Amino acid sequence: MQAPSSELSKAQLLEALCHSQTRARQAEEAAKKAYNEKEHMITHFLKQASQLFAYKQWFHILQMETSLRNSKCQPIYTRFPDFVPWIPIKGKQQKKGQHKPAKTEPSSPRYKIGKSFGSILLGLTLAGAGLLLGWTLGWLFR
Residues 25 and 53 in one domain: yes
What is the number of structural domains in the chain?
2
Within-domain flag for 47: yes
Residues 59 and 118 in one domain: no
Residues 77 and 110 in one domain: no
Side-chain-side CA neighbours of 59 within 13 Å: the count stands at 6
Q: What does DSSP assign to residue 102?
A: P
Residues 74 and 126 in one domain: no
Mind listing the pLDDT tens digit of every residue in the chain (142 residues)? 445 677 778 888 889 999 999 999 999 999 999 999 999 999 999 999 999 999 999 998 888 888 777 766 666 556 565 555 555 555 555 555 566 666 666 677 777 777 888 888 888 899 998 888 888 888 777 7
Which segments of the chain does DSSP mark as H helices, in order?
2-70, 76-79, 109-140
Domain region containing 118: 106-142
pTM of the model: 0.39
Residues 67 and 124 in one domain: no
pLDDT at residue 79 in the model: 59
pLDDT at residue 76 in the model: 57
Residues 33 and 84 in one domain: yes
Taking the CB of residue 47, how many other CB atoms lie within 10 A of it?
Answer: 15
CB 19 within 8 A of CB 11: no
Residues 84 and 113 in one domain: no
Residues 76 and 138 in one domain: no
d(CA 15, CA 22): 11
CB 137 within 8 A of CB 50: no
Q: What does DSSP assign to residue 81?
A: T
Residues 79 and 111 in one domain: no
